[in-house]
Amino acid sequence: MSVFTRMRSGWKIGWLSLSVIRDNPKLLLFMAASGATLILVISSFLITLAMMVGLGHELGLNFDPEYFERFSSPILLIAFFFFYLVTYTIIIFFNVALTYCSNEVLKGGDVHVKEGLKFALSRIEVVLSWAAMAATVGAIFRFLEEKLGFVGAIIAGIMGVVWSIATYFVVPVLAFEDVTPGKALKRSGEIIREKWGESLGVNFSFGLFYLVGYLLVLGLGIPTAIAQPAIGVGFVVVGILTLHVVMGAAKTLFLTAAYQHTQGLTETVFDDEHLFDEMFAPKPKRF
The string of DSSP letters for 95-135 reads HHHHHHHHHHHHTT----HHHHHHHHHHTHHHHHHHHHHHH
Q: Looking at per-residue confidence, does 195 or 160 come out higher?
A: 160
Q: What is the pTM of this model?
A: 0.82
**Which tens digit of pLDDT belongs to each residue from 89-146?**
999 999 999 999 999 998 888 889 999 999 999 999 999 999 999 999 888 888 787 7
More confident position, 98 or 83: 98
Closest listed residue to residue 123, CA positions, set 84, 102, 95, 150: 95
In a domain, 255, yes or no: yes
Separation of alpha carbons 72 and 52, rounded Å: 9
Question: By mean pLDDT, which of 159-163, 168-172, 205-209, 273-277 is the weakest?
Answer: 273-277
Count CB-CB contacts under 10 A for residue 188: 21
**φ/ψ bin of 286: left (φ > 0), alpha (ψ from -120 to 50), beta (otherwise):** beta
Indicate the number of domains in the chain.
1
The angle at the Cα of 264, spanning 259 to 268, to the nearest 5 degrees, equals: 70
Confidence of residue 286 (pLDDT cuts 50, 70, 90): very low
The model's confidence at residue 261, banded by pLDDT at 50, 70 and 90, is confident
* Secondary structure letter of residue 285 according to DSSP: P
Question: Is 201 inside a domain boundary?
Answer: yes
Task: Please report, as a single letter, which amino acid is at residue 162.
Answer: V
Domain assignment present for 9 = yes
**39-72 pLDDT, tens per residue?**
988 888 777 766 655 554 554 445 555 554 454 5
Residue 93 lies in a domain: yes
Structure-model confidence comparison of residues 286 and 107, the more confident one: 107
Question: What confidence category does residue 22 fall into, taking pLDDT thresholds of 50, 70 and 90?
Answer: very high
Asked whether residue 225 is assigned to any structural domain, the reply reads yes
Range of the domain at 174: 3-279
Q: Compute the distance between CA of residue 18 and CA of residue 82 in angstroms, rounded to an integer.
A: 34
Residue 284: inside a domain: no
Alpha-carbon distance of 267 to 265, in angstroms, equals 6
How far apart, in whole angstroms, are the C-alpha atoms of residue 181 and residue 198?
23
Split at pLDDT 50, 70, 90, the class of 159 is confident
Between 267 and 159, the higher pLDDT residue: 159
pLDDT at position 209, please? 83
**At a CB cut-off of 8 Å and minimum separation 6, what does 272 contact?**
none
Residue 287 confidence (pLDDT): 42
Q: Does residue 286 lie in a domain region? A: no
Is 71 within a domain? yes
Contact 85, 116 (CB under 8 A): no
